[in-house]
Amino acid sequence: MSVPKSFEEFNATLSQQSAPSSWPEALRAMWFDAKGDWESSHDIAQDLHNTNGSWIHAYLHRKEGDKFNAGYWYRMAEKKFPSINLEDEQRQLVEYFLTQ
């Protein structure tokens, strides 16, 4: 399956049983997050040793309520701690990775 062209197309894939293996890892991590599988998303983020992985990692720790740990990962991602809600940040992440 090819990479979706929009956030709406991405959301349409959530009815599938598994994330498409041909997608970039960062987008796959966000797919698992959107499916409610924090652990699988986190596992991928931990293995991405770049700013994209750090950003996903930060978002996931923010989502679980660990502001201190999230702050560390936002700094590693060279991002400010966001003031937007989690749903908006999730969309921001997905849309960013759709363009990569």
Is residue 94 domain-resident? yes
Q: Is the pLDDT of residue 100 over 90?
A: no
- pLDDT category at 2 given cuts 50, 70, 90 is confident
Q: What is the pLDDT of residues 56-89, one digit of tens each?
A: 999 999 999 999 999 999 999 999 999 999 999 9
Is residue 2 domain-resident? no
Domain count, the chain: 1
Percent of the chain with pLDDT over 70: 100
- Range(s) of the domain holding residue 16: 7-98
pTM (two decimals): 0.94
Distance CA 92, CA 95 (A): 5
Distance CA 1, CA 88 (A): 25
Is residue 57 domain-resident? yes
Q: Is the pLDDT of residue 1 over 80?
A: no
Q: Cα–Cα–Cα angle for 60, 82, 79, nearest 5°?
A: 85
Q: Write out the DSSP string of 12-26.
A: HGGGSSS--TTS-HH
Q: Cα–Cα–Cα angle for 7, 99, 48, nearest 5°?
A: 100
Q: Judge whether 55 and 62 are in contact, CB under 8 Å.
A: no
Is residue 1 domain-resident? no
